[in-house]
Amino acid sequence: MLRYALTVTLSAFLLFQVQPLLAKSILPWFGGAAAVWSTCLLFFQAVLLAGYGYAHALHRYLSPRRQAFVHILLLAASLAFLPVMPAASWKPAPGDEPASRILLLLAVTVGLPYFLLSATAPLVQAWFARDPGMSGRSPYRLYALSNTGSMLALLSYPPLVEPFLNIRQQAALWSVSYLGFAVLAGWAAFQARRHDFPPPHADTSPEAAKPSLLRLLVWTALAACASSLMLSITDHISQNVAAIPFLWILPLAIYLLSFILCFDAAHWYRRDWFLRLFAVLLGAMVYALQAESGNLPIKVAIPLFVSGLFACCMVCHGELVRLKPAPRHLTLFYLSVAIGGACGGLFAGILAPRLFRGYFELPVSLAAAAALVLILLRRDPSFPPPAIPRRFVWAALLVLHVAFNLSLLHLIGRRAGGVRVALRNFYGGLRVEDEDSAFGVRRQLTHGTITHGEQYLAASRRSKPLTYYGYDSGIGRALLHYPHLQPLHVGVVGLGAGTLAAYGKPGDRYRFYEINPLVAELARSQFQYLRDSKAEIHIVLGDARLSLENESNQSFDILAMDAFSSDSIPVHLLTREAFDLYFRHLKPGGVLAVHISNRYLDLRPVVAAVCSLRGKSFVVIDTEDDEADPAVFGCTWMLVSGDPGFFQRPAIRNAAVAYQSNAKFRVWTDDYSNLFRILK
């Protein structure tokens, strides 16, 4: 029993420990986009499917001796992939399609080791079921043990691994652990070469019959619903807070917890109780989406969607366990589950951004889950209990289901309606809308749930900078009151609608860094700021940090950092290494302006800590909404400079808000960041 338990547990631990490790290591290369994690998960699910297919084929078509030979040979070959560390040559160039590059990068970095780790759980369970010494024991308990190992890997990463080990140390430790796994798995394969299943006629129970096509489709659909919901909710949370391992891991841990509970023992899935919870939380999530969940406090939004995910996964995986086959067919069962997981990942990670103009995968996944559960209950003769009138129950469920779907259709229609332009790609969804106001028609660019630029269409007002870039904002004051009179050289990380170009004067040079080519397309075609600017305008496509690393010293007078997508923060642009890069591209007396407006996170200590470390002075300029013009928003900027005279200018000194940096706050680096310490 020990060799089975150790092999399964270690394989699952390594399987899920490598996911945040690799995703975090490549996140800065792709602009810190939330879709990096979705694409990584798609790869991991696809390789998991391949591993389960391999386990099923090995189990069905090869003798025990040949199984051992093939598996040990592949384990030895996989050692050539160590250590698992992405090569810098995989960093994308401007114009590269990010999703396919991430998939290829991961395949080259960890493909075969991850494939063999994925195959371990079903393969070892098949060996367990053949072992005469394990007669009478359920191999499905090993699946719960496998998911427990996965859960330990995920829960240990944020508090125990990420804060104390840098990426290279993590990769080295994982590689050494994988070597230990290869020895264990090879030993288990060698021992299993002597065991085979009893002949088919030995088991005459109904469960031993080959599963029907309908049963296979139901297994696949249940797994696909849970996977799609997990990815959709992860993306929904990540794009509004930050693309960081903790917010990736939390939904995945909930997803795994449901596997552990459902496969461990039948009493964990109390069907009547969880079906009620499922219905209530589905309604609550739809209500939150209707009310624009981005406006919910983070302490409400995250628990609500995570709880909803748990209820949905418990129902999907609980129903899976109710329909599981005899051990003879367990590899086919796990293969169907893996196909469903990969289909859910394919829908949420690849198809949805190409099929939908907005973030509609979560409403669609919720609708699919509700419909699937209703179909399963309809086919179950034991539901509802005999004491309750069957017609009354089904009439009530049908009415609720119709109302639920109408709410989702209203949500999708409201988000899609009245939009001038709606585009979406790897980096997120963009909308351009026109809105009437007291000062005439105003055009708005929205990324996720956050406005990224507005402009009046009337010629008399369209040169006025709006939203977070008004004349009294931190960046407005820096541009208008910079101490030197010569033409300015201004760098801007994040283009938006191109609003800051409105400050351009003859002779000025403005250099915008923008990772999303769709943003550049919309700024040029739908807004006038870039075309009307008196400054010389350059747009550099690609991740700003990679672009700045590859450029010679730009000697910016002012460098504005404003690269947020929705309320999600690009952590790799707020680290010590990133600020060192900004300071390198500034003139000695230049000004770094960092936009830190955020509903959920207080970014002041992050910026203050690195400024104090590098001996730079800074001030906070916090403004309120302009009562005279609602299109000028309240915002918070931090202005950083090595020139004390800049902060003595009346326009800066009079607007500055006192802020004392915390000497105990740990500086963020490429290897360390802590979101919990800056939650509002």
pLDDT digits (tens, 9 = 90+) for 87-140: 888 888 777 788 889 999 999 999 999 999 999 988 888 888 777 766 657 676
DSSP state of 478: H
Residue 592 pLDDT: 97
**pLDDT digits 0-9 by tens, 556-576:** 999 999 876 555 677 888 999
pLDDT digits 0-9 by tens, 287-344: 888 765 446 666 788 889 999 999 999 999 999 988 888 777 877 888 898 899 889 8
pLDDT value at residue 511:
97
Q: What is the pLDDT of residues 227-279, one digit of tens each?
A: 999 988 888 877 665 555 567 778 888 988 898 888 777 778 888 899 989 98
Among the residue ranges 479-488, 624-633, 636-645, the one predicted with the least confidence is 479-488
Report the length, in residues, of the chain.
680
Q: Please give the residue that has the higher pLDDT: either 645 or 34.
A: 645
The answer to whether the beta carbons of residues 433 and 444 sit under 8 Å apart is yes
651, two tokens: 């326009």
Say if residues 223 and 337 touch (Cβ distance below 8 Å): yes
145, pLDDT greater than 90: no
User: Confidence band (pLDDT; 50, 70, 90) for 162?
Assistant: confident
Find where tokens 């202005």 sit: 639
User: Which pLDDT score is estimated for 244?
Assistant: 58
Q: Which domains, and CATH codes, for the chain?
A: 1-196 (1.20.1250), 211-417 (1.20.1250), 462-678 (3.40.50.150)
Q: What is the mean pLDDT of residues 376-395?
A: 75
Q: Which long-range contacts (CB under 8 A, 24 or more apart) does 179-183 make?
A: 179/79, 179/82, 180/10, 181/7, 181/10, 181/11, 181/14, 181/117, 182/75, 182/76, 182/78, 182/79
Average the pLDDT over 518-538 and give the result: 95
**Mean pLDDT for all residues in the chain:** 86
Residue 6 has pLDDT above 80, yes or no: yes
Residue 220 has pLDDT above 90, yes or no: yes
Cis peptide before 113 (omega within 30 of 0): no
Determine if the pTM surpasses 0.85: no
Least confident range of 117-126, 442-451, 637-646: 442-451
Residue 440 tokens, joined: 């005439």
Does the structure show a pLDDT above 50 at 620?
Answer: yes
Tell me what pLDDT residue 112 has.
Answer: 96
What Cα–Cα distance (Å) separates residue 169 from each residue in 84, 157, 226, 508? 11, 13, 34, 46
Contacts of 344 (CB under 8 A, 6+ apart): 45, 223, 224, 225, 226, 227, 228, 229, 230, 231, 365
Q: How many CA atoms lie within 13 A of 114 on its CB side?
A: 22
Across 9-13, 413-417, 421-425, 453-457, least confident range: 413-417
Residue 195: band (very low, low, confident or very high) from pLDDT cuts 50, 70, 90 = low
Sign of the Cα torsion 178, 184, 187, 189 reads: negative
Provide the pLDDT for residue 31: 79
What pLDDT, on the 0 to 100 scale, is given for residue 131? 72
For residues 360 and 289, give the distance between their C-alpha atoms in angstroms, rounded to a whole number: 11
pLDDT of residue 293: 43
Answer whether residue 200 shows pLDDT above 70. no
| DSSP assignment string, 239-307 | TTSB--HHHHHHHHHHHHHHHHHHHH-GGG--HHHHHHHHHHHHHHHHHHHHT-GGGS-HHHHHHHHHH
Distance CA(190)–CA(606), nearest Å, equals 53
Among 564, 442, 461, 454, smallest CA distance to 499 is for: 454
Straight-line distance from the first to the last Cα atom of the chain, in angstroms, rounded to the nearest whole number: 49
Which of 234-243, 449-458, 605-614 is predicted least confidently? 234-243
Asked whether the predicted pLDDT for residue 174 surpasses 90, the reply is yes
Write out the two tokens for 602: 């207080």
**So what's the pLDDT on residue 419?**
83
Tokens representing 141? 């308990």
